[in-house]
A and B are shown apart, each in its own frame.
Chain A
Amino acid sequence: MTSTADRKGAPSYTSENYSSAKYKVVGTRPIRHDGLDKVTGRAKYGADVSMSGLLHGKLLRSPHAHAKILSIDTSEALKLEGVKAVVTSQDLPIVADQLIDLAEVMANPRVMAENILAGAKVLYKGHAIAAVAAMSPHVAEEAVGRIKVEYEVLPPLLDVREAMKDDAPLLHDGLTTRNTAERFGKGTDTGVKSNIASHIQFKRGDVEQGFKDAHVIVEREYNTKGVHQGYLEPQSSTVNWAPDGHITVWTSTQGHFGVRAQTAAVLAVPEHMVKVVPMEIGGGFGGKIPVYLDPVCALLSKKTGKPVKIVLTRKEVFEGTGPTSGTFMRVKFGADKNGLITAVELFLAYEAGAFPGSPVGAGANTSLAPYKIDNLLIDGYDVTVNKPKVQAYRAPGSPQAAFAVETALDVLADELGMDPMDLRLKNASKEGDRQPSGVPLPSVGCVEVEQAMKEHDHYKTPLKGPNRGRGVAMGYWGNGGMQSSATLTVNSNGTVAVVTGSVDIGGTRPAVAMQAAEVLGISAEDMRPSVGDTDSVGWTGVTGGSRTAFSTGIAAITAAEDIKDRMIARAALVWEVKPEDVSFRDGVFTNGKNSEERLTFKELAGKLMATGGPISASAASNPRQVGPGVCGNIVDVEVDPDTGKVTILRYTVVEDVGQAAHPSYVEGQMQGGAVQGIGWALNEEYFFTDDGAMQNSSFLDYRMPTSLDLPMIDTVLVEVPNPGHPFGLRGVGEVSIVPPMAAISNAISHALGVRVDRLPMSPGVILEAMEAGKGGK
């Protein structure tokens, strides 16, 4: 067995040195403002909340994947000393269907309520049924064990193809299939009862003729398993429901305004009665957009008159919170002799889990977006099965479809005898080309990224040695815009406080503050960024959709421009000239009437109180020109032919980042996404028993990569500026998870001469593929 660490003397590749001369602050690498608290243990995360009178809650969860709840008896639990309250779905108000836009995902509070506390039926093992509040978590746990539930156990549906069959038993009696042609579209109701919640179709050109025109046709099927976001911090929430009806929530979330909307909707209270205080968040990747605990803690708090805190266990995180979809996919490519793609058919069946809402629509649109395709037919299906309800996971829906598309493209390149990068470049999308949805692409860096890959030392250096192979793959993600708010306040010493509504998961405090600093001509260190609660700052969408540095950045820039104008007016007052006579450059105000008279930003800040009082400015953003992200991977692997174990030898991530705000944290996003993808590719999976119980609900058996499983992850930042942002920023967070699975699959096939058509490509799967010897180089 070889491991990265065993290979003594292996070269350690370093990141390509990035330098941006365009800006003074944007593109530099200051120390993040919240860093000190995070390296000393002082930063307060959701589970660190404590307050007087705090009670602790625990949840009862279903042991069955599919069952009717006949009765719930909580009397024995309530008798236990130290137990203060028990709640079930009976305590939740009945709410109607409606859609809340959370960016990346839409939430329906009726469905959310059923997912938070099961009503008539449990739909997956781990589905919460009741909650207890007690003096300590241990007492609450003991009490949970005393709740008696009578079930009528039903057979579970665990396979997406089984669930799609016409005669499949139904999870939801009232669910009918909707036909839709847009990702979040409600579509037309077919009236047909089914586990298929929706069928999305994209159609263009003449597919039949396209395949007739093809010289080579490649048709393949792929399967992927459900995987979890795997954030290290389990969900938690602490809620106080005050006697006057005001509800305060302290939680770690990707979006506290979303938590406010969801909590208010599920509890049927007006939004202004809910205040959400965002704590530091220990990772989310999309999984901390929906609420699970906040309404439950609220109900327990209302019953007890005390604040109630629930912290999930790791097992509960796996069994009860959103993974992403397992899938069955079919892809058919046709290409002419020169490698020009003539037609594509794509069939995507995505598990939604227990309730509708898989990200199949995004998978349908994004996986073929990097290519200009005139004839295509894409069918995507959102299918309910007896597994936890899926939630967003980094570029939700795209990695699965890209695994199918990019692996099949590699087969196509092999069959054409074409370099895989040349095939991609030949068909690369450019600005104005239509995505599968029909929407034309804005400024996009497909060609630039592919060129950078082809010219990279990694790609040009021959790979030597037995059982080794190289693979490449591309990924596309549209990125999000959405609304953000920021408030800037000038302190008397010339530092500037920046309050935004965006929680900081991976360094967005500096990324946003640096953009305002650039406008104000001051340093990153002069900025004091923080995250405001829902009562302290304007509405802001989730930290998700790769939107924060981009959109919240625009809000901060706009507020900074306002600050600048007001400062100019003050300088004009000091110099007794008109504002238009004052110029501002590199942080210095100059009197146009007397260029001897100059004030630095800091000097002028000290004069604010004497010239009319403090200056602060708020701004909101709602950007329309969102810059999509493109990412490509080059990976070298070595496969142990005796055991099927794959070792990653070298890994290069090339991404169009528009303009890196803080390059270190941009690289971090690229490296982190790549490694999540490596885990998805090689070992991560939800392993279910036949009766629908997840067997590997721990970090021991749900195998996320450790430091010992990886080499350094090299990064290349390509910068095709986004015209929709003053400094050219694009979203950078999500697209990096899209290419790894296909890139690794392609590398493995080049190492072994065998194609692997499923995820994860774990050692056992690779051994089987080698034995079957199907496909070929």
Chain B
Amino acid sequence: MVRKVHIHTNINDGDVEFLCEERQSLLEVLRDVVGLTGTKEGCNDGNCGACSVILDGRLVDSCLVLGVEAEGKEITTIEGIASVDGLHPIQQAFLEEAALQCGICTPGFIVAAKALLDREPEADEARIRHWLAGNLCRCTGYDKIIRAVMKAGETVQGGAR
């Protein structure tokens, strides 16, 4: 058996410990070890953004982070975006604007959009298109996704949350 490493981390505001192999990516650990399957695998080489998570405040592709690198870090996944009070404005806007079709890229887009709006809620269409260029969607043509993020930005700025 391959030796495993004991990792202490924080996922979605809760302390989490897990054992992982050194070769396992954070994506694999999140999905197969921790059981958070909301983070999706589309390419496993950093070119589609479906596995986007926020690692210590930074948007990353979890397929390009090793599980062992999670030690002592704070991670936000799609499962940590909504609160007990309800959906995040981005999630709400995705529903209202029909910004998803098959939904497989949706968690990555929502996590990526949150990382943007957390620091730039005023981001305009051009900025949003640039920020989300690392997230591929094959169903929507992006139109409704961009509109949803713009709408969520307005909500965030309006202090509705």
**Interfacial residues, chain A to chain B (CB-CB below 8 A):** 4-8, 12, 29, 31-32, 34-36, 38-45, 47-48, 50, 81, 138, 229-234, 280-285, 311, 313-314, 505-507, 662, 664-665, 667-669, 671-676, 698-700, 704-708, 710, 712-713
Contacts and interface: CB of A to CB of B under 8 A. Distances in A.
A138 B77 contact: no
Contact of B104 (A283, A665, A710, A712): A283
A39 B106 contact: yes
B145 interface: yes
Contacts of B50: 232
Size band of the B side of the interface?
35 or more
A6 B126 contact: yes
Given A81-B1, A706-B136, 13 more contacts: A5-B125, A8-B126, A35-B95, A231-B102, A311-B41, A506-B101, A507-B101, A662-B98, A667-B98, A667-B143, A674-B141, A707-B146, A710-B142
Interface of B: 1-2, 21, 23, 31-32, 35-45, 47-48, 50, 77-79, 81-82, 87, 91, 94-98, 100-107, 110, 125-130, 132-147
Contacts of A233: 40, 42, 102, 104
A767 B82 CA distance: 49
Contact of B23 (A44, A138, A314, A707): A138
11 contacts: A34-B103, A40-B91, A41-B79, A42-B79, A314-B42, A668-B140, A671-B140, A699-B43, A699-B45, A700-B45, A707-B132
B101 A505 contact: yes
Contacts of B142: 675, 705-707, 710
A41 B39 contact: yes
A39 B87 contact: yes
Contacts of B94: 35, 39
Contacts of A12: 125
Nearest to B103: A38
Nearest to B106: A38
B101 A232 contact: no
Contacts of A314: 42-45, 48
Interface centre among B35, B96, B102, B142 (most CB of A within 10 A): B102
B32 to A, nearest CB: 8
A27 to B, nearest CB: 14
A234 B43 CA distance: 8
Sorted nearest first, the 3 A-B pairs with minimum C-beta distance are A41-B38, A282-B104, A675-B141
A320 to B, nearest CB: 15
Contact of B103 (A280, A664, A699, A713): A280
Given A672-B139, A707-B135, A40 B38 contact: yes
B149 to A, nearest CB: 10
Nearest to B148: A39
B141 A708 contact: no
B72 to A, nearest CB: 24
Contacts of A672: 101, 138-141
A39 B110 contact: yes
The A interface is mostly helix, strand or loop, or mixed, namely loop
A42 B39 CA distance: 10
B45 A706 contact: no
A234 B42 contact: yes
Contacts of A39: 87, 91, 94-95, 100, 103, 106-107, 110
A81 B31 CA distance: 24
Given A41-B78, A314-B44, A708-B129, A35 B140 contact: no
A35 B100 contact: yes
Contact of B47 (A42, A668, A699): A699
Contact of A232 (B1, B102, B130): B102
Given A41-B77, A704-B138, A706-B133, A505 B45 contact: no
Contact of B141 (A44, A231, A664, A671): A671
Contact of B139 (A32, A283, A662): A283
B81 A665 contact: no
Given A29-B98, A283-B104, A668 B139 contact: yes
A167 B68 CA distance: 58
A699 B51 CA distance: 14
Given A699-B136, A706-B136, A282 B103 contact: yes
B102 A699 contact: no
Nearest to B127: A5
B63 to A, nearest CB: 10
A627 B147 CA distance: 31
A676 B137 CA distance: 10
A234 B41 contact: yes
Given A8-B126, A41-B36, A712-B146, A282 B82 contact: no
A32 B42 contact: no
B104 A45 contact: yes
A283 B142 CA distance: 15
A486 to B, nearest CB: 21
A699 B42 contact: yes
Contact of B129 (A669, A673, A707): A707
A759 to B, nearest CB: 18
Contact of B98 (A8, A32, A42, A230): A32
Most buried by A among B21, B103, B125: B103
B136 A32 contact: no
A664 B140 CA distance: 11
Contact of B102 (A29, A44, A281): A281
B102 A282 contact: yes
B103 A43 contact: yes
Contacts of B36: 41
A352 B102 CA distance: 28
A231 B138 CA distance: 6
Contact of A40 (B48, B81, B104, B133): B81
A664 B98 contact: yes
A5 B133 CA distance: 11
A674 B140 CA distance: 9
A234 to B, nearest CB: 7
Contact of A45 (B23, B40, B146): B40
A699 B133 CA distance: 12
Contacts of A713: 141, 143
A85 B37 CA distance: 27
B98 A507 contact: yes
B87 A712 contact: no
A5 B126 contact: yes
A315 to B, nearest CB: 9
A700 B101 contact: no
A736 to B, nearest CB: 9
A670 B130 CA distance: 23
